[in-house]
Structure 1
Amino acid sequence: MTEQYRLPTIGEILFVLVSFIIVMFSFIVLFELPIQLALLVAWFLIMLVGLKIGYSYQQMQTGLLKGVNDGLEAVLVLISVGALIGTWIAGGIVPSIIYYGLSVINPVVFLLAAFVITTITSIATGTSFGSVGTAGIAMMGIGASFGFPLPLVAGAVISGAYVGDKVSPLSDTTVMTASLSQVELIEHIKGMLPVTIPAWIIAALLFTGAGFLYTPEDGDLSVAYNTMASLEEHFTIGWYMLIPAILVICLLAMKKPSIPVILFGALLGSLWSFFFQGHTFLDSINILYAGNSIDSGVDFIDNLLNRGGIVFMLDVIVLIIFALGVGGLMERIGILEALGDALAKWANTVGRVSASTMVSGFFGNLFGGAAYVSLITASKITEANYDKMNLDRRLLSRNTEVGGTLTTPMVPWSDGGVFMATALGVSTMSYLPFLWFHFLAIAIALFYAYTNRFTFQSKKQLKKLTPIQEEEL
């Protein structure tokens, strides 16, 4: 039987994209309905177009399931990190980090410290989720005690966490980007450094400057002291509380698989809650699933530490599955391919082809809901143009990482956006203006592309192209 389907037209693509945005806005802002339902409605909008252009439901279901399957690793990481958060709070690991942080970190340099600490953690572990779910939560507690606005603290935490997610050889997105772009891993990381280093330095200066705006007189330090007293009252605090964190970071730094290592860390947290925090054995095991529960009488402590467990991530997991389904459907009925064809006609300079890759990555997050989807859309939609223009694939991998990985926490319904908001207790739109490292990296990458700096052209393409040559491309 001959297959009778075609690529969607620009009009049909616009119908899907505009309808998607209208549905998301209506459900979230106007009706205050769960975002999961909005994504489910988006499935049917895409299927309507698919049926019109000749796809059967079975064909579209295959694409939907493929999209979900491609992102299942992220779901497993979320389950693991959820268990880790709960047991590390109950086991006293996170409370001890908060306690010692309050005692040694000066409020003036706190934002810089939060940025640096999450940077180091993410480079050492290769996971932004794990860095935010552990060190990040501790930094939120310290920042709140010092009187910093939580969205600003979240911006520093997420900015640092994504440094490692972008350049660490242990990061799954870094490895995936190099693989999709057909670039050796170390070469990909080297290609990222001209963007990452200046963006990190400028972001560090900005967070330092923001910290000086909050002197000890500006922040209510009595909250910090009360927090320390409350933590001592409800948890056993000691240096040995940090052993699980040190072990997990070391194992990840030794390139051990992230999911079993995170789950091992969660189990250590359960054991710490049993041996050191007074939980019964059954309760310490149940925390893996149900999360931590504390009634300290201090609203700040309760809001910060009543979280974690696999249950804590269930809404996020459902959302990500629906978002992955959207990406799978759009790929199956040819929307991504048609967008790639349209971009190819416009992207005829180094600057434009770089911008098109970043836009494709952002679209992957916007309509696919996951970093994995964004990396695929960014690299596969635009890779032919790099070869056509004789550009080194390291430029493709860099632009893919910048447009895909870094824009993930900017989208409220992407896996990164939902996890960051859930784990830190700050909405995506609230912390978005403070993702200074992300915006700087995007701006610097575009600056390089449009000024032909660090574009890794082959030797015969190093000379500037004439307008006629650019037109021929």
Structure 2
Amino acid sequence: MNTNDEHSVKQPLRFVQSVTIFAVIIAILLLTILGWGAQPHIPLLTATVAAGCLLLLFGQSWNLVERALIKGLQASVMPALLLSLIGILIAVWMMSGTVPTLLVYGTSWFQPQWFTISALLLTVIVSMFVGSSVTTVGTFGVALIGMSNTMGVHPAIVAGAVVSGACFGDKMSPLSDTTNFASAVARVSIPDHIRNMTKTTVPAFLITCIAFLFFGSSAQSNMDQLLSMQQDIRSVFHIHPLTLLPLAVVLIAAFKRLPIIITMLLGIGSGLLVTALIQGDVNVPQWMEVMQGGFQGSFQMEEVSRIVNRGGLQSMTWAISLIAIA
């Protein structure tokens, strides 16, 4: 056995040493994140450095510490790649009109006489394909709550429907950064993670739907705000059923149980095809700019702008760096 191998032999930590390292990590995270309100990246990096120093102090070799760091980084490569592809996919689906078409069709199917259940289902659709419950609540949610005042439905009931739908859609969306982060930390695939969540979330969602069927119905029909959103979207995109082709491709690939990376690439490729054929945009340099920085369109309504102007590789750098450090 050579010298490097001898120094790489792992010396088991004592119980007190293990508890000390754990306590230091927890103390750093509690002080910085909860106490000072810091973003988690630097506190996690600080905790990692502190844990490494304690390991060296307790007699562990640098080779072992370095090997553990490299192993952790290797485990984050696949989740980071998936998040990168998801950011690109969201931007391409915005540019191709896939998500805007879903928004137009979803608001067209809105039934005022069943106001709260329609609000619930609409926010589920928006949140699932946008991948953000906060954005959904802050845009479509605010619009729906505003509509409730003119339709004789109590705003608190509509707010409950909006928050419930947005949280469910975000939780079950493969485009959500929190869903991807949770699956990365738990070391499980995204489909398995979502499948496991359905055991608790779907029954709760069905009970919620039944409840909102009996609360918050309206005999009035004031759809002005949703119609304005539709017109704003139509002014930028060519709304056509064929723009939903990328969604169909991804669903078929998922049904065929193709690898998630291949599924994402097929979704991106079909989205670019729709962008060229349906939207008439063949500016490849602009495509690359959108995939890098996200889609940026000109809309009159701030609610539409906040929903559609998103995505891109750079939008995922916060989550990617967090996974790499964690």
- With the shorter chain as reference, the TM-score category is 0.7 to 0.9
Give the distance between the partners of 1:115 and 1:264, measured in 2 at CA: 26
Provide the residue aligned with 1:103 in structure 2.
Answer: 108
Does residue 229 (structure 1) correspond to residue 241 (structure 2)? The answer is no
The CA deviation at 1:174 is 6.4
Measured in 2, the distance between the counterparts of 1:63 and 1:91 equals 43
The AA in structure 1 aligned to 2:100 is P
Question: How far apart are 1:114 and its partner, in Å?
Answer: 5.5
Are the equivalent residues in 2 in contact too, given 1:270–1:285 (CA < 8 A)?
A: no
- Determine the C-alpha separation between the residues in 2 that align with 1:279 and 1:160: 32
SS at match of 2:235: helix
Paired with 1:174 and 1:307, the residues of 2 have a C-alpha distance of 24
Change (3 A) 1:199 1:259: closer
Find 1:303's aligned residue among 306, 310, 323: 306
Q: Which range moves more in the overlay, 215-224 or 265-274?
A: 215-224
Paired residues for 1:73-222 under 5 Å: 73-106=78-111, 107-110=115-118, 112-113=120-121, 132-133=128-129, 143-147=141-145, 149=159, 151-161=163-173, 172=189, 200-209=202-211, 215=217, 221-222=223-224
Residues 377-427 of structure 1 show CA distances to partners (whole Å, capped at 9, x for unaligned) of xxxxxxxxxxxxxxxxxxxxxxxxxxxxxxxxxxxxxxxxxxxxxxxxxxx
Amino acid corresponding to residue 23 of structure 2 in structure 1: L
- The match for 1:267 is 269
Q: Which runs of 5+ in 1 are unaligned?
A: 119-130, 178-188, 324-473
Change in Cα spacing, 1:208 to 1:299, as seen in structure 2 (3 Å) is farther
Q: Does 1:39 align with 2:56?
A: no
Show the counterpart of 1:14: 23
CA gap 1:308/1:159 in 2 versus in 1, 3 angstroms: closer
Task: Give the letter for the 1:293 counterpart.
Answer: Q
Specify the alignment match of 1:380 in structure 2.
Answer: none
1:73 corresponds to which letter in structure 2?
M
Confirm or deny: 8 A CA contact 1:111 1:207 kept in the other structure: no
> CA 1:306/1:176 → structure 2, altered by over 3 Å: closer, same or farther?
closer
C-alpha displacement of 1:19: 2.4
Is this contact kept in 2: 1:108–1:212, CA < 8 A?
A: no
SS class of match (2:257): coil
- Does residue 112 of structure 2 align to residue 69 of structure 1? no
Mapped to 1, the partners of 2:319 and 2:108 lie a distance apart of 34
Amino acid at match of 2:303: F
CA displacement 1:23-77 (0-9 Å, x = unmatched): 22245x2xxx443222221212222322232223332121122112123211111
The 3 A distance-change label for structure 1 pair 62 and 215 is: farther
Contact 1:98 1:142 survives alignment (8 Å)? no
Tell me, yes or no, if the aligned pair for 2:107 and 2:122 is still in contact at 8 Å: no
Deviations 1:322-373 (A, max 9, x none): 11xxxxxxxxxxxxxxxxxxxxxxxxxxxxxxxxxxxxxxxxxxxxxxxxxx
- Displacement after TM superposition at 1:79 (Å): 0.8
**Is the counterpart of residue 242 in structure 1 residue 244 in structure 2?**
yes
Alignment of 1:368-387 (within 5 A): none
Retained in 2: the 8 A contact 1:289–1:309?
A: yes
From the superposition, tell whether residues 284 and 15 of structure 1 become closer, same or farther in structure 2 (CA, over 3 Å): closer
Tell me the distance in 2 between the aligned counterparts of 1:139 and 1:100.
Answer: 16
2:215, 2:294 → 1: CA distance? 36
Deviation at 1:252, TM superposition (A): 1.5
The Cα shift of 1:82 comes to: 0.5
SS of alignment partner, residue 292 of structure 2 = helix
Q: TM-score scaled to structure 2, two decimals?
A: 0.74
Corresponding residue SS for 2:311: coil
8 Å CA contact 1:139–1:153 kept in 2: the answer is no
Give the equivalent residue in structure 2 for 1:437.
none
The whole-number CA distance in structure 2 between the counterparts of 1:242 and 1:68 is 37
Distance 1:9 1:243 in 2: 53
Q: Which amino acid aligns with 2:19?
A: I
Deviation of 1:255 after TM superposition, in Å, equals 1.0
- Per the TM alignment, residue 320 of structure 1 is displaced from its structure 2 partner at its CA by 1.4
Which residue does the alignment assign to 1:49?
A: 54
Q: Is the 8 A contact 2:294 2:312 kept in 1?
A: yes
Residues 224-233 or 9-18, more deviating: 9-18
Is 2:288 aligned against 1:288? no
Q: For residues 223 and 98 of structure 1, do their structure 2 counterparts lie closer, same or farther at Cα, with a shift above 3 Å needed?
A: same
Return the offset for 1:250.
0.5
Per-residue deviation at 1:267?
A: 2.3
Change (3 A) 1:9 1:62: closer
Matches within 5 A, 1:337-348: none
The alpha-carbon deviation at position 198 of structure 1 amounts to 6.7
Moved more, 151-160 or 260-269: 151-160
**Cα distance between partner residues in 1 of 2:265 and 2:120:** 30
Deviation at 1:310, TM superposition (A): 1.0
**Gap runs ≥5 in structure 2:** 1-5, 146-157, 183-187
Give the secondary-structure state (helix, strand or coil) at the position aligned to 1:234.
Answer: coil
> Contact 1:81 / 1:133 at 8 angstroms: preserved in 2?
no
TM-fit CA distance, 1:111: 5.5
